[in-house]
Amino acid sequence: MDHFAEQLIHGRSHISPKRLGEPGPSAAQKETILLAANAAPDHGRMVPWRFIEIQQESRNALGEVFYQCLLDRDLNATPIQLQEAREKALRGPLLLLAIVNYADDTNEISKEEKLVSLGCAVQNVLLSAYALGFGSVSVESKELLNNPFVGVALADKIATIFLTWGKYILLVLFPHPLTHDYYPKQIPIVGFGDFCVIISILIYGFLIGYSVIKIWKRDIFAFAILFFLITFSISSNLVFNIGTFMNERFMFASLIGFAIIAAYLINKYLNTPKLLQTGKILMIVLISLYSIKTFSRNFAWKDSLTLYSTDVKTSTNSAKINVGVGELMIKSVNDKTPEAEKQRVINEAMEHIRKGVTIYPGFKAGWIYLGYGQHLLGDYKNSRISLIEALKITNNDQDARNYLYGDALTCYNLKDYKQSEANFKTLIQYVPDHNEYLYALAELYTNINRVDTAMVVLEDLTKKDPKFDKPFNKIGEIYGRIFNNFDSAFFYLNKAYALNPNNLENLRNLGTAYGIRNDYQNSLRYLLEAEKVSPTDKDILNKLSITYKLMGNMPKSNEYAAKVK
């Protein structure tokens, strides 16, 4: 197989949508990526699939579809799971929707074949994107989990690569222990003075020298060695950066070279009358041992949690697997999990995640899951500290922001106003352009009777964004409800109404304020508008009942009183 094709197929790996960022493909690159789909197998040349690009303005609508689909599948989905479903539509600079068309005039092509054709088209699109450097590991990557040699001197990088080559030889001869994870910092960065590196260089130097000299004499060993070296070179990190130090699965093709040598030696030296019986015994022993190892290893692949829980015992210094197993453990508990078991699992998960971010402090996802775990344990103070670390890496990370905001509201409900204030201030510090956070802080100050502070924040917010209706409404509410200054109250409430006539709270405040001033006609006007916005709001319905009663319209008053009940 061509080297580039081999690297393309085996080098492409799944990149979490959370880690896909700008810049996305240009228009020309998009065309190249999508044209690759046309090379997919297509029985009958029907092209039974389409790719639709979801534009930014349509992503929120798609997010609502994802939200509803999850709710339809799982009525017990948590608010966080529902929010995550929504946010899937917001990630990545390019979002393509793949669809398959089952209908055709002849019905000669089965649905299964059409679906397979779509799958092949999707794979071609992914490979094309990877070839252009998108959604993939790049040699230019500055992210440690995509490039384990970030910041490493060239000499140390090459020495470390030779160290991994030596480990491959050891695993071929003695495949234990096995793991799927060799991400940083499972393999230490070493120099050429390391003894294992020297031994590895000598071994590979001998193999290369022997094969180059002997291949011209049609030497079977030289052929097998070259087969091993050439196929191995693609994933050796010397030609391409594979995004990790090493991986056992990269040896699948290369091991054919090892198998050739083993078969040749067995046939030549053990296939004799005297040694045949010994050879059979030796083969049975070797095959049994390898089979036992293969069989026992299969249990680790039962599911992701089992795999990660097993391999974290081997890959103890990998940041990725420590965070990964912690994440999966946290996700394994739910409302049906006994409280004692839930606490035990989460605490154990936290230990793994802490270790992961200690190994690699730049692991944003690790800090987010650490904060989330601390949230589940009610440790909102340390949850904020962990989420701040995530925001230091990416100051507008949506997950970190959502957890901080959720904790701020939770702490308010728990009357931990100091922690709630700290969370809101953190959000304002790292996302200063998100005016909703400033408004939420002002609401907090209002509700805990720090009205003067709230007014300062709200006035600043009206100057910062004169088209934002909520602060005008809140200022009007404060003037009327707390200061009993209805002239100022109506000034701000009417300004908020002019900016957004569908703000339920503004309509509620206007209806209430006019009612207090005995202007029932205007009170009725705004309350009826509020009813249109929220037809089941009992407070609005009750106010309508009272207003109609004060206006002497008892039939209408009774009608709305019945709706309240």
Q: Which residues are CB-contacts of 435 (< 8 A; sequence separation ≥ 6)?
A: 461, 464, 465, 468
Omega before residue 432 within 30° of 0, cis? no
- 3-state SS, one letter per residue, for 418-438: HHHHHHHHHHHHHCCCCHHHH
Residue 275: phi, psi to the nearest 5?
A: -105, 0
Distance of CA 397 to the CA centre of its chain: 11
Tell me if residue 152 falls in helix, strand or coil: coil
Residue 266 DSSP symbol: I
Q: What is the DSSP string of 86-116?
A: HHGGG-SS--EEEEE----SS--S-HHHHHH
Burial label, 362 (beta-carbon count in 10 A; 0-12, 13-18, 19+): middle
Q: Does domain 3-131 have CATH number 3.40.109.10?
A: yes
Task: Determine the pLDDT at residue 76.
Answer: 61
Range 192-196, long-range pairs (CB < 8 A, 24+ positions):
192/155, 192/158, 192/159, 194/159, 194/163, 196/163, 196/166
Range 1-6, long-range pairs (CB < 8 A, 24+ positions):
3/233, 3/234, 3/239, 6/231, 6/234
Task: Determine the pLDDT at residue 123.
Answer: 81
HSE at residue 218, side-chain half, CA atoms within 13 A, is: 0
Which tens digit of pLDDT belongs to each residue from 17-43?
A: 655 666 777 788 788 777 877 777 776
Domain with CATH 3.40.109.10 in the chain: 3-131
Give the helix ranges, DSSP H, for 76-194: 79-87, 111-131, 154-173
Q: Which helix or strand (DSSP H or E) is residue 50 part of?
A: strand 49-53
Residue 249 DSSP symbol: G
For residues 522 and 541, is the Cβ–Cβ distance under 8 A?
A: no
Task: Determine the pLDDT at residue 411.
Answer: 96
Task: Determine the pLDDT at residue 104.
Answer: 63
Give, in degrees to the nearest 5, the angle at Cα 373 between 367 and 375.
105
Cα separation, 397 vs 402, in Å, equals 9
CA 454 vs CA 345, 412, 418, 445: distances in Å: 41, 16, 15, 5
Cα separation, 522 vs 244, in Å, equals 68
| Nearest CA among 25, 31, 34, 32 for reference residue 94 | 25
| Nearest CA among 429, 424, 425, 363 for reference residue 390 | 363
Task: Determine the pLDDT at residue 139.
Answer: 32
Show pLDDT as tens, one digit a residue, over the chain (565 residues). Answer: 444 454 555 555 555 565 566 677 778 878 877 787 777 777 677 777 788 888 888 888 888 877 777 766 665 666 667 777 777 777 777 888 888 776 665 567 777 777 778 788 888 887 777 766 665 333 334 678 878 998 899 899 999 999 999 999 999 889 999 999 999 999 999 999 999 999 999 999 999 999 999 999 999 999 999 999 999 988 888 877 778 899 988 888 899 999 999 889 988 888 888 888 888 888 899 889 989 999 999 999 999 999 999 999 999 999 999 999 999 999 999 889 999 999 999 999 999 999 999 999 999 999 999 999 999 999 999 999 999 999 998 888 888 999 999 999 999 999 999 999 999 999 999 988 889 999 999 999 999 999 999 999 999 999 999 999 999 999 999 999 999 999 999 999 999 999 999 999 999 999 999 999 999 999 999 999 999 999 999 999 999 999 999 999 999 999 999 998 8
Residue 96: phi, psi to the nearest 5?
A: -110, 135
What sign has the CA pseudo-torsion 545, 550, 556, 557? positive
Task: Determine the pLDDT at residue 470.
Answer: 95
Domain with CATH 1.25.40.10 in the chain: 504-565
CATH architecture of the domain 504-565 equals: Alpha Horseshoe (1.25)
Taking each helix axis as running N to C, give the angle between helix 417-430 and helix 398-413, from 0 to 180 degrees, rounded to the nearest 10.
160
Q: Which residues are CB-contacts of 2 (< 8 A; sequence separation ≥ 6)?
A: none
User: Which residues, in sequence order, are bridge partners of residue 100?
Assistant: 49
Residue type, 451: V
